Amino acid sequence: MMCAEGYLRAQVTDILKGDVMGFRVERHEYATAVEAMLKLAQMYCGGSRVAAQVLLSAYNGDHYQLDVADMRVLSRENHDYAMAVIQGRYDTNLEPHNLVVDGDQIFQDLCVQYQGLRLSNRSKLRCTSCKGTGTVYRDDVDEDGTSCHSCAGTGRVCECEAR
């Protein structure tokens, strides 16, 4: 029987080798997960924000970081895709935008769409004028809207400006 210290040492060794329960992600699996997370991020549903966090963090970790606690809103299937993106980024050392057609443009659009997730904006409050969207609509038939003047279209305001 292995002592607790020996067991922990073996687990740490497995983690350092990147072989926890044989969880390795190949390039094609990573690409599939990226595509699934992109689809979710563009759906405007409960898991969309989390999918965007996963993708943008894998894309540019200096400006976007995943709030791990938010992963709880994902379905089991989408959680698995999110974990495959994270592990795939590690295993392949490829940025996610390089795995999809028109990836540069898609990820630039994602950065604009989810600019509120940028680290420099995360501490700011959600703009109440546009409900954090950055766009104000005149009425129910206005499909395009205009940029919110309260937050300059960012969807976020500093706490001092919100008062």
Q: Say yes or no: 97 and 163 in one domain.
A: no
Instruction: Supply the pLDDT for residue 1.
Output: 46
Q: Say yes or no: 13 and 40 in one domain.
A: yes
Q: Say yes or no: 162 and 88 in one domain.
A: no
Q: Say yes or no: 9 and 60 in one domain.
A: yes
Report the predicted TM-score, pTM, of the whole model to 2 decimal places.
0.70
- What is the DSSP pairing of strand 156-157 with strand 125-126? antiparallel
Reported for 139-147, long-range contacts at CB under 8 A and 24+ positions apart, including other chains, are none
What's the domain count of the chain?
Answer: 2
Instruction: Supply the pLDDT for residue 73.
Output: 95
Instruction: Supply the pLDDT for residue 35.
Output: 96
Instruction: Supply the pLDDT for residue 85.
Output: 96
- Please name the helix (run of DSSP H) or strand (run of DSSP E) that holds residue 135, with its range, or none: strand 135-136
Q: Say yes or no: 45 and 63 in one domain.
A: yes
Which of 83, 104, 119 is the last residue before a domain boundary? 119
Q: Say yes or no: 81 and 144 in one domain.
A: no
Q: By residue range, what is the domain housing residue 39? A: 4-119
Q: Say yes or no: 29 and 60 in one domain.
A: yes
Question: Per-residue pLDDT tens for 81-128?
Answer: 999 999 999 999 999 999 999 999 999 999 988 888 888 877 778 888
Q: Say yes or no: 18 and 93 in one domain.
A: yes
Q: Say yes or no: 67 and 107 in one domain.
A: yes
**DSSP letters for 47-107:** THHHHHHHHHHHH-TTT----GGGGGGS-HHHHHHHHHHHHHHHHH---GGGGSTTHHHHH
Distance between CA atoms of residues 109 and 162, nearest Å: 27
Tokens of 146: 């205009």
Instruction: Supply the pLDDT for residue 149.
Output: 85
Please count the other Cβ atoms lying within 10 Å of the Cβ belonging to residue 102.
10
Place of tokens 């996963």: 54
Q: Say yes or no: 88 and 163 in one domain.
A: no
Instruction: Supply the pLDDT for residue 58.
Output: 97
Candidates 89, 74, 71; CA nearest to 33 is 89
Residue ranges of the chain whose pLDDT lies below 50: 1, 15, 20-21, 162-163
Q: Say yes or no: 24 and 93 in one domain.
A: yes
Please count the other Cβ atoms lying within 10 Å of the Cβ belonging to residue 136.
18
Phi, psi (5° rounding) for residue 136? -115, 135
Q: Say yes or no: 39 and 114 in one domain.
A: yes
